[in-house]
Chain A
Amino acid sequence: MNSRPRSPAARPPEPGAAAGLRLQLGIAALAALAWSGAWAGSAKPAFAVEKAAAGVYVHYGQQEEMTPANAGDVANMGFVVGERCVAVIDTGGTRAVGRMLRAAIREVTPLPVCYVINTHVHPDHVFGNAAFLDDHPEYVGHAHLAEAMRRRGPTYLRAVLRDVGSPAEGTTLVLPTRSVADTMRLDLGGRVLDLRAWPTAHTDTDLTVFDEASGVLWLGDLLFVGHIPVVDGSLQGFIGVISELKSIPARQAIPGHGRTDGWLGALAAEAGYLERLRTDVRAALAAKKSLAEAVDSIGYDASEAWLLADRFHRRNVTAAYAELEWAQ
């Protein structure tokens, strides 16, 4: 096996760096109160929101599967504050998590939430949408998002209720009211967000958000750091989109999972995993291996130390095989 360069380890922001200013908000008390009924005596992490740049706030979710303990808080989300209003970017895996995010916004600004943007259809990014209904925002997503939510919604909702249990109470689907077919600019009052819809990659609903003022690029699950990349759209498409993302002049990027100071390096590590997957599956197909044989024999570079690989790698191999066998 060729030795591959070790992927850049995700490091926490250095103290004092602009990207690392950590605000411990009063959410901690709120969280303890909200969950104390179920969690008497156990220590709960506060719903921490960090300032990534002026007016840009991020909550980094847990790098694990949805459980009652994390209440579906397993993906990244955040918000951008303009002069007129606030845009929310992804809302977590349950209404409860969305409410945590909404409370965090209120700690920072009284401005109304005018947009709730979903980077893609997966449950850990969209099921907090219901927490913002009373704000009457526009819900914004990829042109394919509405249909994807309609088709996948029931299955996802069942899974969230099953995996999270009672903390998932009140979680419902909220479909987009505005769709992005190619690009869209949203003005938050002296602050413009550039939204871009991508061809099928991680899913067929991928959308990125670029804040011009700060140069912060929200990539959704087009970038995984730590958490193994997941192919739920098109492997070929995912590799193609990554090569285009590289040229976006972002100063920093927010992945859908995990965190990074060096987003180009993180993108390269992700591309490395996906390209190797493509190479290995093509070789298996050329050797006339069956799907079962391919899944059993195709590994990944262990030095890349992906989290949740047990859950997703073999599924990625399955998806890649089913896609690439048409190209033979």
Chain B
Amino acid sequence: MHNRLRVLSATAGFWLTLSGAALGQDNPDASPVWRAVRADLFSGMPIAPAADVLVLETPKRAEDAAIVPVAIHAQFPQRADHYIEKLWLIVDNNPSPIAAVFHLTPQSGRADIETRIRVEQYTYVRAVALVDGKLYMAANYVKASGGCSAPASKDAAAARATLGRMRLRADEIGAADQPVLAQLMISHPNDSGLAMDQVTRTYAVPHFVRTVEVRYEGRPLMSADVDFSISENPNFRFFFVPGHGGEMEAKVVDNQDLEFTASIKFDPARRGAVSTAR
């Protein structure tokens, strides 16, 4: 009896939170934040289930709420007459719910995107796709907490020393029309500034990536509008069609107007590429 009482009193707060969250878990449309974001972004447009358009992969429970892997897998190839044009990544219960908006092109080959996000509270994570003027959505419930308010950077001094370091790389190239997976990483705190300095009682200066632009063969390939809901050291996997080969350029701009660039030349004859990342 003593034990049961102790468990109740010590964890009452936890269970209250959980039951509230569980209610939210049953009905993805019920979230008031989602209703507001939906009205704001999509003003009344119907949104269909994503079934044949995309699949959203997230862990049920995050190991580290500041580095939650998210994968969006497109269910059909990008074609000039039929392609996923935009992808929104939304985390209902984050301080900044719209984690990313990706702009994709037929040159992507596949509209798949993988990245990592911070999750502040138990929440729905949503991927919304725009295809031929229509909207489709997948929503997964993710159990994680504290990802946005978590202390940044395991090694603060090292992070300062490597700010802006980038890696741009891609898998081996096969056929000219076969989409190839590429990855862009940038060393950046991607910090919201929401944490308060204990001593000065002031808030940290926000320092986060705002835009990512990737061009291939001189044309836009993929771009993203992002903010601090993306994890520290923003990391993106995406596809491109190699064609005859050419240069891929990535430009990252942050909220302090710092710009970082990297480029990589593809030579299909050599099936590989040389990266010139800073």
A interface residues with partner B (beta carbon < 8 Å): 39-42, 67-69, 144, 147-156, 158-159, 162, 165, 173, 175, 200, 203-204, 232-234, 288, 290-292, 295, 314-315, 317-319, 322, 325-326, 328
Contacts and interface: CB of A to CB of B under 8 A. Distances in A.
13 contacts: A41-B2, A68-B6, A149-B198, A151-B153, A155-B146, A200-B154, A232-B154, A290-B71, A314-B63, A315-B63, A319-B154, A326-B165, A326-B167
A128 B135 CA distance: 54
Interface stretch (B124-132, B155-163, B251-259, B261-269): B155-163
A41 B59 CA distance: 42
B233 A151 contact: no
Given A291-B67, A318-B67, A326-B185, A155 B195 contact: yes
Contact of B10 (A67, A147, A152, A173): A67
Contacts of A144: 156-157
B31 interface: no
A155 B150 CA distance: 6
Interface in B121-145: none
Interface centre among B64, B204, B237 (most CB of A within 10 A): B64
Interface of B: 2-3, 6, 10, 13, 57, 59, 63-64, 67, 69, 71, 114, 116, 146, 149-158, 165, 167, 171, 181, 185, 187, 195-199, 204, 233, 235, 237
Contact of A204 (B150, B157, B171): B157
Given A291-B116, A292-B59, A147 B156 contact: yes
Contacts of A314: 63
Contacts of A175: 198-199
A153 B196 CA distance: 9
Nearest to B159: A204
Contacts of A39: 6
A155 B149 contact: yes
A175 B146 CA distance: 23
Given A68-B6, A233-B154, A290 B64 contact: no
A320 to B, nearest CB: 11
A87 to B, nearest CB: 24
A80 B65 CA distance: 39
Contacts of A315: 63-64
B63 A318 contact: yes
Interface centre among B114, B156, B181, B233 (most CB of A within 10 A): B156
A293 B150 CA distance: 24
Contact of A322 (B10, B67, B158): B67
